């Protein structure tokens, strides 16, 4: 495999007779903001779970942060942050307690953990809510805390799996502003899965997935120019023959 942040060759996953992911060839560069665009059921989450070592591939090979996802799964996990579609925060613990608990799981020394937590609380505008139980936070604040926890151990690659699902437009914009700033300051590689075309537009490159198959890959402007359309939704329609909103896995 290459020294890319993420590299996959012929990666696939079957669930019985269902082919959730076909033969995926993909390379994500260090520091890239990479979008994985497709409808619900296209295989996006399956791909993330394989790359994050939560699912074993049925075929093919991949490396993340320089490590093989099968043979070096522990090293992969140390090098990534993962934010799921649904929050995994403890709602009865406070904001700071959730982060301190995560720091202990990652064996981050006390002084370093305190400094890191303070920095992230400031970046995500959660400092004044540090003593509040998570259940009292808005959806946007909980999502911000999810991401803060995901990068607490300073990973090389951050996986964001449909991170803004259920958030209102204002909360979504605010979240992306913070993520963009952190990506620039920390040099993070961000791998985003989404079915919102407006979220994929700012990505450096976008992979378009449909029914477990990669149908387009490249910078958004280039994909739109090649398909002679004005939006990534138009790219999806041109490559698959059906609208993004009506698509789904077979």
Q: What is the mean pLDDT of each run of 10 residues along the chain (250 residues)?
A: 82 96 96 95 96 97 97 97 93 98 96 96 95 96 94 95 86 85 87 93 96 96 96 95 67
Compute the Cα dihedral for 126, 156, 71, 8 and give only its sign.
positive
Local structure of residue 245 (DSSP, 8 states): G
pLDDT recorded at residue 249: 39
DSSP per-residue letters across 11-40: EEEEETTEEEEEEEEEEE-TT-EEEEE--T
Let me know if 201 is exposed, middle or buried by CB neighbors in 10 A (0-12, 13-18, 19+).
Answer: middle
Distance CA 203, CA 22 (A): 24
The answer on 74 and 25 residing in a single domain is: yes
Which residue segment(s) compose the domain that 169 sits in? 1-79+159-243
Decide if 15 is inside a domain: yes
The pLDDT of residue 247: 53
Is residue 248 in a domain?
A: no
Residue 57 lies in a domain: yes
Structure confidence at residue 246 (pLDDT): 56
Give the pLDDT score at 182.
81
Task: Give the pLDDT of residue 185.
Answer: 83
Whether residue 173 sits in one domain with residue 60: yes
Please tell me the total count of domains within the chain: 2
Residue whose C-alpha is closest to residue 105's, from 139, 81, 129: 81
Question: Helices 139-150 and 110-123, interaxial angle, to 10°?
Answer: 140
Q: Indicate whether 84 belongs to any domain.
A: no
Give residue 184's pLDDT.
Answer: 83
């Amino acid at each position: 495999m290459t020294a890319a942040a993420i590299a996959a060759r012929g990666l696939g996953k079957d669930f019985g007779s269902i082919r959730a992911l076909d033969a995926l060839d993909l390379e994500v560069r260090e520091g890239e903001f990479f979008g994985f665009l497709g409808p619900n059921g296209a295989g996006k989450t399956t791909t993330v779970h394989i790359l994050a070592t939560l699912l074993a591939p049925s075929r093919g090979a991949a490396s993340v942060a320089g490590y093989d996802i099968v043979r070096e799964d522990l090293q992969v996990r140390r090098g990534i942050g993962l934010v799921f579609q649904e929050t995994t925060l403890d709602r009865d613990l406070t904001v700071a307690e959730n982060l301190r608990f995560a720091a202990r799981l990652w064996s981050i020394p006390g002084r370093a953990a305190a400094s890191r937590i303070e920095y992230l609380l400031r970046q995500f505008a959660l400092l004044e809510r540090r003593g509040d139980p998570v259940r009292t936070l808005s959806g946007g604040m909980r999502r911000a805390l999810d991401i803060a926890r995901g990068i607490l151990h300073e990973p090389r690659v951050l996986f964001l799996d449909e991170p803004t699902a259920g958030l209102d437009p204002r909360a979504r914009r605010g979240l992306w502003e913070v993520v963009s700033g952190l990506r620039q300051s920390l040099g993070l590689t961000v791998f985003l899965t989404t079915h919102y075309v407006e979220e994929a537009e700012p990505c450096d490159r976008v992979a378009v997935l449909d029914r477990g198959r990669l149908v387009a890959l490249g910078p958004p402007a280039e994909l739109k120019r090649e398909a002679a359309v004005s939006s990534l939704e138009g790219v999806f329609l041109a490559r698959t023959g059906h609208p993004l909103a009506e698509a789904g896995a077979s």
